Amino acid sequence: MSDRRSVTAPVAAVTLRGVTKRFPGVIANAGVDLEIHAGEVHALLGENGAGKSTLSNIVTGLYRPDEGSLELHGEPVVLRSPRDALARGVGMVHQHFRLVQPFTVAENIALGDQRDRRLVPDRAALERSVAALAEQYGLAVDPRARIWQLSVGEQQRVEILKALYRDARVLILDEPTAVLTPQEARGLFETLRAMAAHGRTIVFISHKLHEVLAVSDRITVLRGGRVVATLPTETAAPEGLAALMVGREVETGRRPERTSAPGQVVLEARELCADGDRGLPALRSVSLEVRAGEIVGVAGVAGNGQRELAEAITGIRPPTAGSVLVDGRELRAGDPRDAIARRVAHVPEDRLGTGVAPSLSIADNTVLKSYRGPDMSAGPFLRRARIVRRATELIAQYGVHAPGPETPARDLSGGNLQKVVIGREFAGEPRVLVVAAPTRGLDVGAIETVHALLRGAAARGVGILMISEDLDEILALADRVLVMYEGAIVGERSGAGADVEELGMLMAGGAR
């Protein structure tokens, strides 16, 4: 970027020397040496389990290293708690916001601040301070607004303002663009650059390589708990970064051009309406088609009806109006067994809470939809040997890293858990696959695997409805793109050559 500054004599804001952190059976960080300069945006990359979160927790005072030392602005420190870190100017914005919904912006920002010990704070003065800070860094938000009234992007601004209000000189952001539109992400990058220009230090943790390249000054790559490279951003390329992260070459390109036309319509929704969890309308007359061998992507900011759409199609959520058809025949409304019988597979966004039974083994989870069949049971008795054999085959076929088929699902990493869910759904030889947030929270290697599985399913003639908040993922896989806003389909575009800016505008409720 043109505004990146050349620093001839960088000053270290954070220095880690020989940092090692062990957990039972795992070395999360192994002798990490890392120096992050004051006034820079420093990206931290690595697969899940590479040690990024552990390092962040050490710098923010949640963990203490077993070996090694930490320095902040040249001073050796021993942090005993996150409060110690905050007192020394280190803050963190987590991927999942920690805001009190009924409170105002100003109240959330002041919550827990130990500097003002008055029993009744000066609300007007607080709101003026927040407004001035927001204006200084271009973080437009109304201090009097309540959190539940704000968009996801605005809520993230509140989290950043919380750290700035406490005078954080080092700010760590964990996957900060996961729920933002492209326009909101660009606005965030401008804010981060402005903060760096004012001497603050930004640690930017992300899986999106193009964003890392767009905003950072330097990049550190972790693999297996160790630093494998630290390099200036201007010398980096997506392919090289991905290879450093996983230790091999990774395919990072777009979806190959289609070689054959999609087949007949296998999934159709007609004027589908459904209520959300609070009884308010969540789907507003949604109509769509998915053809055999086609991947249709549904883009949108979280909370615009995507989850309700997936649940209404798969029978989990009864629609209030409209219908769902598979191969031209209507599904029974609100009947997931009928959807399963009609070979409608479902990979939900909450893979741990909805996709599996966490306390059950891999083997048990692989037959949650098929245990009543004669292959898996004899009357009321399960054929245990067959179930274990199927799970063993699935583990081998999908490259699930686990001690064995009796491993509890809750012990698996996100990527391995997703492979189990996808493998179970594919075992039913689906006609239709509804998959939501297929790679959320996964690392580059796991993303590559999941994308290959989805492409392979489409090549076999499965009709795929893929719901994702990640536009990069949508554009990498989808033949057609539907955009949802406030429970309705507000636009449809071809996946090939779709304009990211236009999609972002549609996602934000802009021109159609």
> How many angstroms from the chain centroid is the CA of residue 492?
24
**Any bridge partners for residue 219, and if so which?**
43, 231
Are residues 219 and 241 in contact, defined by beta-carbon separation less than 8 angstroms? yes
Give CA angle at 233 (231, 237), nearest 5°.
95
pLDDT of 259 reads: 60
Computed over every residue of the chain, the mean pLDDT equals: 87
- Using 50, 70 and 90 to split pLDDT, how confident is the model at 238? confident
**Any bridge partners for residue 480, and if so which?**
296, 494
Are residues 182 and 212 in contact, defined by beta-carbon separation less than 8 angstroms? no
- Using 50, 70 and 90 to split pLDDT, how confident is the model at 1? very low
pLDDT tens per residue across span 131-175: 998 888 888 889 999 988 887 778 888 988 988 888 889 999 988
pLDDT tens per residue across span 42-56: 999 887 778 888 899
Rounded to a whole number, what is the largest CA-CA distance in the chain? Answer: 76
pLDDT tens per residue across span 113-131: 766 656 566 788 889 999 9
As a whole-number percent, the residues of the chain with pLDDT over 70 amount to: 93
Higher-pLDDT residue of 444 and 85 is 85
User: What CA–CA distance (Å, rounded) separates 184 from 166?
Assistant: 24
As a whole-number percent, the residues of the chain with pLDDT over 90 amount to: 49
- Using a 10 angstrom Cβ sphere, with 0-12 exposed, 13-18 middle and 19 or more buried, the burial of residue 256 is exposed
- Mean pLDDT for 286-314 is 92
CATH fold match for the domains 12-246 and 263-343+430-512: yes
Name the helix (H) or strand (E) containing 484.
strand 480-485
Domain boundaries, the chain: 12-246, 263-343+430-512, 358-428
Of 481, 477, 473, the C-alpha closest to 499 is 481
- Using 50, 70 and 90 to split pLDDT, how confident is the model at 258? low
Has residue 344 got a pLDDT over 50? yes
Name the helix (H) or strand (E) containing 287.
strand 281-291
pLDDT of 250 reads: 64
pLDDT of 88 reads: 92
Q: Where are the beta strands (DSSP E) in 348-391?
A: 377-378, 381-382
Fold of 12-246: Rossmann fold (3.40.50)
Has residue 177 got a pLDDT over 90? no
Has residue 500 got a pLDDT over 90? no
At 424, is the secondary structure helix, strand, or coil? helix
N residues, the chain: 512
At 466, is the secondary structure helix, strand, or coil? strand
Strands 344-347 and 432-436: parallel
User: What CA–CA distance (Å, rounded) separates 432 from 259?
Assistant: 20
- Mean pLDDT for 328-332 is 95
User: What CA–CA distance (Å, rounded) separates 248 from 226?
Assistant: 16
Indicate the range of 92-96, 100-104, 170-174, 433-437 predicted with least confidence: 92-96
Higher-pLDDT residue of 267 and 374 is 267
- Using 50, 70 and 90 to split pLDDT, how confident is the model at 14? very high
Has residue 34 got a pLDDT over 60? yes
Range 263-343+430-512 has CATH code 3.40.50.300: yes
